Amino acid sequence: MCIKFGLLMLLACSVGVCTFATKIEPIVLVHGGAGDIPNMRVPVKFAGMKKSVKAGFDVLKAGGSALDAVEAAIKVMEDDEAFNAGFGSVLNTDGEVEMDASVMLGNLSAGAVSIVRDIAHPISLARLVMEKTPHVMFAGSGANRFAKEQGVPTVPPGSLVSPSAKFSLDVFKRVQAWRMETDHTITNSSDTPTEVKNPGDVGTVGAVAIDANGNLVAGTSTGGTNGKMVGRVSDTSMIGSGTYCDGDVGAVSTTGHGDTIAKVCLAHSIIKEMEHGKSAQEAAKHCIDKMTSRLNHTAVEWDGLTKKVTRYSQELNTTK
Protein backbone atom coordinates (compact mmCIF):
# COMPACT_ATOMS: atom_id res chain seq x y z
CA MET A 1 0.00 0.00 0.00
CA CYS A 2 1.28 3.39 -0.85
CA ILE A 3 -0.59 6.43 0.35
CA LYS A 4 1.00 9.39 -1.31
CA PHE A 5 1.88 12.29 0.89
CA GLY A 6 -0.65 15.06 0.72
CA LEU A 7 -3.61 12.90 -0.09
CA LEU A 8 -5.10 13.54 3.27
CA MET A 9 -6.31 10.66 5.29
CA LEU A 10 -9.24 12.37 6.72
CA LEU A 11 -12.09 11.18 8.77
CA ALA A 12 -15.36 12.85 9.11
CA CYS A 13 -18.41 11.50 10.76
CA SER A 14 -21.72 13.13 10.40
CA VAL A 15 -24.93 12.91 12.33
CA GLY A 16 -28.19 14.73 12.23
CA VAL A 17 -29.11 16.81 15.21
CA CYS A 18 -29.44 14.21 17.91
CA THR A 19 -32.74 15.12 19.45
CA PHE A 20 -34.53 11.87 18.64
CA ALA A 21 -34.82 9.25 21.34
CA THR A 22 -33.39 6.23 19.49
CA LYS A 23 -30.14 4.94 20.87
CA ILE A 24 -27.16 5.92 18.78
CA GLU A 25 -24.66 3.32 17.77
CA PRO A 26 -21.26 4.42 19.07
CA ILE A 27 -18.47 4.76 16.49
CA VAL A 28 -14.78 5.57 16.69
CA LEU A 29 -12.58 6.13 13.63
CA VAL A 30 -8.82 6.64 13.72
CA HIS A 31 -6.10 7.67 11.27
CA GLY A 32 -2.37 7.13 11.52
CA GLY A 33 -1.20 9.87 9.19
CA ALA A 34 -0.78 10.45 5.48
CA GLY A 35 2.44 9.90 3.63
CA ASP A 36 4.36 7.74 1.25
CA ILE A 37 4.38 4.72 3.53
CA PRO A 38 6.98 2.15 2.56
CA ASN A 39 5.55 -1.37 2.33
CA MET A 40 7.71 -2.59 5.20
CA ARG A 41 6.08 -0.03 7.56
CA VAL A 42 2.51 -0.93 6.63
CA PRO A 43 2.14 -3.93 9.01
CA VAL A 44 3.31 -2.03 12.11
CA LYS A 45 1.06 0.88 11.28
CA PHE A 46 -1.95 -1.37 10.72
CA ALA A 47 -1.28 -3.21 13.97
CA GLY A 48 -0.97 0.09 15.85
CA MET A 49 -4.17 1.48 14.35
CA LYS A 50 -6.10 -1.69 15.19
CA LYS A 51 -4.89 -1.50 18.77
CA SER A 52 -5.83 2.17 18.87
CA VAL A 53 -9.34 1.76 17.46
CA LYS A 54 -9.92 -1.17 19.82
CA ALA A 55 -8.88 0.92 22.84
CA GLY A 56 -11.31 3.62 21.73
CA PHE A 57 -14.13 1.21 21.04
CA ASP A 58 -13.65 -0.61 24.36
CA VAL A 59 -14.41 2.70 26.06
CA LEU A 60 -17.58 3.23 24.01
CA LYS A 61 -18.76 -0.37 24.45
CA ALA A 62 -18.48 0.03 28.21
CA GLY A 63 -20.75 3.07 27.97
CA GLY A 64 -17.90 5.61 28.10
CA SER A 65 -17.87 9.02 26.47
CA ALA A 66 -16.66 9.93 22.99
CA LEU A 67 -14.05 12.15 24.66
CA ASP A 68 -12.62 9.25 26.69
CA ALA A 69 -12.68 7.09 23.54
CA VAL A 70 -10.79 9.62 21.42
CA GLU A 71 -8.24 10.19 24.16
CA ALA A 72 -7.72 6.44 24.70
CA ALA A 73 -7.34 5.78 20.97
CA ILE A 74 -4.82 8.58 20.46
CA LYS A 75 -2.78 7.64 23.54
CA VAL A 76 -2.17 4.19 22.07
CA MET A 77 -0.66 5.73 18.94
CA GLU A 78 1.31 8.29 20.98
CA ASP A 79 2.97 5.35 22.74
CA ASP A 80 3.74 3.57 19.47
CA GLU A 81 6.97 4.32 17.64
CA ALA A 82 5.26 3.59 14.32
CA PHE A 83 3.49 6.97 14.52
CA ASN A 84 4.61 10.57 14.53
CA ALA A 85 3.19 11.53 17.93
CA GLY A 86 4.45 11.16 21.50
CA PHE A 87 7.25 8.57 21.48
CA GLY A 88 8.42 8.28 17.87
CA SER A 89 7.73 11.92 17.00
CA VAL A 90 9.93 13.32 14.26
CA LEU A 91 12.68 15.71 15.32
CA ASN A 92 13.37 19.40 14.80
CA THR A 93 16.72 20.59 13.42
CA ASP A 94 18.19 20.47 16.94
CA GLY A 95 17.25 16.80 17.20
CA GLU A 96 14.51 17.42 19.75
CA VAL A 97 10.88 16.37 20.02
CA GLU A 98 8.37 19.25 20.11
CA MET A 99 4.76 18.07 20.03
CA ASP A 100 1.34 19.51 19.25
CA ALA A 101 -2.18 18.22 19.96
CA SER A 102 -5.76 19.42 19.99
CA VAL A 103 -9.21 18.19 20.95
CA MET A 104 -12.71 19.54 20.39
CA LEU A 105 -16.23 18.62 21.55
CA GLY A 106 -19.55 18.95 19.80
CA ASN A 107 -20.52 21.90 22.01
CA LEU A 108 -17.44 23.77 20.68
CA SER A 109 -15.34 23.33 23.84
CA ALA A 110 -11.75 23.03 22.67
CA GLY A 111 -8.22 22.64 24.00
CA ALA A 112 -4.80 22.53 22.37
CA VAL A 113 -1.10 22.47 23.15
CA SER A 114 1.85 23.35 20.96
CA ILE A 115 5.63 22.86 21.20
CA VAL A 116 5.37 20.78 24.36
CA ARG A 117 8.33 18.73 25.44
CA ASP A 118 8.81 15.58 27.48
CA ILE A 119 5.12 14.78 27.86
CA ALA A 120 4.14 11.23 26.89
CA HIS A 121 0.54 12.13 26.01
CA PRO A 122 0.03 15.61 24.57
CA ILE A 123 -3.60 14.74 23.75
CA SER A 124 -4.33 14.41 27.49
CA LEU A 125 -2.70 17.77 28.12
CA ALA A 126 -4.86 19.34 25.40
CA ARG A 127 -7.90 17.87 27.17
CA LEU A 128 -6.79 19.43 30.46
CA VAL A 129 -6.41 22.82 28.77
CA MET A 130 -10.01 22.46 27.62
CA GLU A 131 -11.35 21.26 30.96
CA LYS A 132 -9.30 23.19 33.50
CA THR A 133 -8.62 26.59 31.96
CA PRO A 134 -10.64 29.38 30.36
CA HIS A 135 -8.19 29.29 27.40
CA VAL A 136 -7.95 27.32 24.17
CA MET A 137 -4.22 26.86 23.58
CA PHE A 138 -1.03 26.70 25.63
CA ALA A 139 2.39 26.68 24.00
CA GLY A 140 6.03 26.04 24.85
CA SER A 141 7.26 26.49 28.40
CA GLY A 142 3.83 27.68 29.56
CA ALA A 143 2.28 24.44 28.38
CA ASN A 144 4.90 22.45 30.25
CA ARG A 145 4.38 24.57 33.36
CA PHE A 146 0.63 23.96 33.14
CA ALA A 147 1.32 20.22 32.83
CA LYS A 148 3.36 20.33 36.00
CA GLU A 149 0.65 22.25 37.86
CA GLN A 150 -1.88 19.63 36.77
CA GLY A 151 0.33 16.79 37.98
CA VAL A 152 0.94 15.46 34.48
CA PRO A 153 4.17 13.46 34.67
CA THR A 154 7.10 14.50 32.51
CA VAL A 155 9.41 11.92 31.01
CA PRO A 156 13.22 12.31 31.05
CA PRO A 157 14.55 14.65 28.33
CA GLY A 158 15.31 12.75 25.15
CA SER A 159 13.24 9.70 26.08
CA LEU A 160 10.65 10.39 23.35
CA VAL A 161 13.38 10.35 20.68
CA SER A 162 13.15 7.06 18.81
CA PRO A 163 15.93 5.44 16.78
CA SER A 164 13.95 5.75 13.53
CA ALA A 165 13.30 9.45 14.17
CA LYS A 166 17.04 9.97 14.65
CA PHE A 167 17.74 8.15 11.43
CA SER A 168 15.12 10.19 9.56
CA LEU A 169 16.64 13.47 10.75
CA ASP A 170 20.07 12.26 9.74
CA VAL A 171 18.80 11.47 6.23
CA PHE A 172 17.00 14.82 6.12
CA LYS A 173 20.17 16.73 7.00
CA ARG A 174 22.35 14.84 4.57
CA VAL A 175 19.87 15.30 1.74
CA GLN A 176 19.49 19.01 2.56
CA ALA A 177 23.29 19.41 2.48
CA TRP A 178 23.45 17.53 -0.80
CA ARG A 179 20.71 19.69 -2.31
CA MET A 180 22.43 22.89 -1.20
CA GLU A 181 25.59 21.68 -2.85
CA THR A 182 23.89 20.87 -6.13
CA ASP A 183 21.46 23.81 -6.22
CA HIS A 184 22.59 27.10 -4.80
CA THR A 185 19.08 28.56 -4.64
CA ILE A 186 18.30 26.10 -1.86
CA THR A 187 18.99 27.16 1.72
CA ASN A 188 18.87 25.46 5.09
CA SER A 189 15.30 26.57 5.60
CA SER A 190 14.04 25.58 2.12
CA ASP A 191 11.22 23.12 2.02
CA THR A 192 12.25 19.60 1.22
CA PRO A 193 10.74 16.89 -0.95
CA THR A 194 8.15 14.96 0.95
CA GLU A 195 9.92 11.63 0.60
CA VAL A 196 12.85 13.12 2.47
CA LYS A 197 10.79 14.61 5.24
CA ASN A 198 9.69 11.27 6.52
CA PRO A 199 11.81 8.45 5.23
CA GLY A 200 9.98 5.45 6.67
CA ASP A 201 7.06 7.77 7.19
CA VAL A 202 5.49 7.71 10.61
CA GLY A 203 2.41 9.96 10.47
CA THR A 204 0.32 12.30 12.59
CA VAL A 205 -2.52 10.56 14.44
CA GLY A 206 -6.16 11.41 14.98
CA ALA A 207 -9.53 10.07 16.03
CA VAL A 208 -13.18 11.03 15.84
CA ALA A 209 -15.96 9.40 17.82
CA ILE A 210 -19.65 9.52 18.61
CA ASP A 211 -20.98 7.94 21.81
CA ALA A 212 -24.36 6.44 22.67
CA ASN A 213 -25.58 9.86 23.82
CA GLY A 214 -24.78 11.36 20.42
CA ASN A 215 -21.79 13.39 21.62
CA LEU A 216 -19.22 14.00 18.89
CA VAL A 217 -15.50 14.53 19.56
CA ALA A 218 -12.40 15.02 17.38
CA GLY A 219 -8.73 14.92 18.40
CA THR A 220 -5.33 15.03 16.70
CA SER A 221 -1.71 14.68 17.89
CA THR A 222 1.65 15.06 16.14
CA GLY A 223 5.39 15.59 16.36
CA GLY A 224 5.20 17.88 13.31
CA THR A 225 7.48 17.52 10.31
CA ASN A 226 10.93 15.98 10.22
CA GLY A 227 13.69 18.59 10.27
CA LYS A 228 11.28 21.41 11.12
CA MET A 229 12.74 24.64 12.43
CA VAL A 230 12.80 24.97 16.22
CA GLY A 231 9.56 26.53 17.47
CA ARG A 232 7.48 25.59 14.44
CA VAL A 233 3.79 25.26 15.31
CA SER A 234 1.74 22.75 13.35
CA ASP A 235 -1.77 22.76 11.95
CA THR A 236 -2.49 19.90 14.36
CA SER A 237 -2.57 22.27 17.30
CA MET A 238 -4.75 24.79 15.48
CA ILE A 239 -8.47 24.46 16.11
CA GLY A 240 -10.04 24.73 12.66
CA SER A 241 -7.05 23.33 10.76
CA GLY A 242 -6.04 20.06 12.42
CA THR A 243 -9.21 19.46 14.40
CA TYR A 244 -12.80 20.68 14.32
CA CYS A 245 -16.03 19.42 15.79
CA ASP A 246 -19.57 20.74 15.77
CA GLY A 247 -22.23 18.57 17.40
CA ASP A 248 -24.82 19.69 14.86
CA VAL A 249 -22.63 18.78 11.90
CA GLY A 250 -19.65 16.44 12.33
CA ALA A 251 -16.10 15.86 13.56
CA VAL A 252 -12.89 16.17 11.53
CA SER A 253 -9.23 15.32 12.17
CA THR A 254 -6.75 16.09 9.38
CA THR A 255 -3.24 15.05 8.43
CA GLY A 256 -1.01 15.81 5.47
CA HIS A 257 1.11 18.82 4.54
CA GLY A 258 0.49 20.85 7.68
CA ASP A 259 1.71 24.21 6.50
CA THR A 260 -0.77 23.96 3.63
CA ILE A 261 -3.66 22.68 5.73
CA ALA A 262 -3.18 25.63 8.11
CA LYS A 263 -3.63 28.15 5.28
CA VAL A 264 -7.08 26.88 4.33
CA CYS A 265 -8.32 26.00 7.85
CA LEU A 266 -9.11 22.61 6.40
CA ALA A 267 -11.04 20.97 9.24
CA HIS A 268 -13.33 23.96 9.69
CA SER A 269 -13.82 24.38 5.93
CA ILE A 270 -15.05 20.80 5.69
CA ILE A 271 -17.47 21.25 8.59
CA LYS A 272 -18.86 24.41 6.97
CA GLU A 273 -19.50 22.63 3.67
CA MET A 274 -21.21 19.79 5.54
CA GLU A 275 -23.30 22.34 7.36
CA HIS A 276 -24.46 23.62 4.00
CA GLY A 277 -25.60 20.19 2.89
CA LYS A 278 -22.62 18.27 1.53
CA SER A 279 -21.92 14.76 2.79
CA ALA A 280 -18.70 14.18 4.76
CA GLN A 281 -17.13 12.54 1.71
CA GLU A 282 -18.19 15.29 -0.72
CA ALA A 283 -17.10 18.08 1.61
CA ALA A 284 -13.72 16.47 2.30
CA LYS A 285 -13.04 15.86 -1.39
CA HIS A 286 -14.15 19.33 -2.44
CA CYS A 287 -12.07 21.10 0.22
CA ILE A 288 -8.97 19.05 -0.49
CA ASP A 289 -9.33 19.60 -4.25
CA LYS A 290 -9.74 23.32 -3.66
CA MET A 291 -6.70 23.40 -1.38
CA THR A 292 -4.65 21.53 -3.94
CA SER A 293 -5.62 23.83 -6.78
CA ARG A 294 -4.74 26.93 -4.77
CA LEU A 295 -1.59 25.67 -3.07
CA ASN A 296 0.62 23.10 -4.65
CA HIS A 297 1.88 21.28 -1.63
CA THR A 298 -0.89 18.77 -1.28
CA ALA A 299 -0.30 16.48 -4.22
CA VAL A 300 2.76 14.56 -5.23
CA GLU A 301 5.17 16.89 -6.90
CA TRP A 302 8.87 17.61 -7.16
CA ASP A 303 8.83 15.06 -9.97
CA GLY A 304 12.38 15.04 -11.26
CA LEU A 305 13.82 15.91 -7.90
CA THR A 306 11.78 13.34 -6.03
CA LYS A 307 13.19 10.58 -8.17
CA LYS A 308 16.73 11.79 -7.65
CA VAL A 309 16.28 12.26 -3.93
CA THR A 310 14.54 8.93 -3.51
CA ARG A 311 17.44 7.24 -5.17
CA TYR A 312 19.80 9.18 -2.94
CA SER A 313 17.94 8.17 0.23
CA GLN A 314 17.89 4.58 -0.90
CA GLU A 315 21.64 4.73 -1.31
CA LEU A 316 21.94 6.17 2.19
CA ASN A 317 19.66 3.46 3.48
CA THR A 318 21.58 0.68 1.89
CA THR A 319 24.98 2.07 2.81
CA LYS A 320 24.06 2.58 6.43
Ligand X SMILES: *[C@@H]1O[C@H](CO)[C@@H](O)[C@H](O)[C@H]1NC(C)=O
Residue 238 to residues 18, 116, 242, Cα–Cα distance (Å): 27, 14, 6
Strand partners, 137: 112
Strand partners, 220: 102, 206
Nearest to 252, CA basis, from 206, 287, 294: 206
Check the annotation: does 286 bind a ligand: no
Residue 49 to residues 107, 188, 189, Cα–Cα distance (Å): 27, 35, 33
| Strand stretches in 119-176, DSSP E | 137-139
Write b or e for each residue in 259-278: b if 16 or more Cβ atoms lie within 10 A of its Cβ, otherwise e. Answer: bbbbebbbbbbbbbbbeeeb
Nearest to 280, CA basis, from 300, 242, 240, 253: 253
Pairing mode, if any, of strands 99-105 and 110-116? antiparallel
Check the annotation: does 206 bind a ligand: no
Q: Is 204 a catalytic residue?
A: yes
Question: What is the smallest separation between the CB atom of 51 and ligand X, expressed in angstroms?
Answer: 27
Using the 8-state DSSP alphabet, how is residue 245 labeled? E
Q: Is the CB of 279 or the CB of 296 nearer to ligand X?
A: 296
Check the annotation: does 235 bind a ligand: yes
Q: Is the CB of 6 or the CB of 32 nearer to ligand X?
A: 6
Question: What is the smallest separation between the CB atom of 297 and ligand X, expressed in angstroms?
Answer: 8
Type of residue numbered 274: M
Q: Is the CB of 18 or the CB of 295 nearer to ligand X?
A: 295
Check the annotation: does 161 bind a ligand: no
Spatial contact of 217 and 72, defined as CB atoms under 8 Å apart: no
Question: What is the smallest separation between the CB atom of 43 and ligand X, expressed in angstroms?
Answer: 33
Question: What is the smallest separation between the CB atom of 294 and ligand X, expressed in angstroms?
Answer: 7
Q: Is the CB of 203 or the CB of 227 nearer to ligand X?
A: 227
Check the annotation: does 256 bind a ligand: yes
Q: Is the CB of 25 or the CB of 303 nearer to ligand X?
A: 303
Nearest to 253, CA basis, from 102, 67, 89: 102
Q: Is the CB of 69 or the CB of 85 nearer to ligand X?
A: 69
Question: What is the smallest separation between the CB atom of 109 and ligand X, expressed in angstroms?
Answer: 4
Of 192, 204, 225, 260, which is the active-site residue?
204
CA distance 248 to 15: 7
Q: Please report, as ranges, the residues that interact with ligand X according to CB under 6 A.
A: 93, 105, 107, 109, 173, 188, 295-296
Question: What is the smallest separation between the CB atom of 217 and ligand X, expressed in angstroms?
Answer: 10
CA distance 10 to 7: 9
As a residue count, the chain comes to: 320
Check the annotation: does 174 bind a ligand: no
Q: Which residues are annotated as a binding site for substrate?
A: 232-235, 255-258
| Active-site amino acid positions | 204
Q: Which residues are annotated as a binding site?
A: 232-235, 255-258
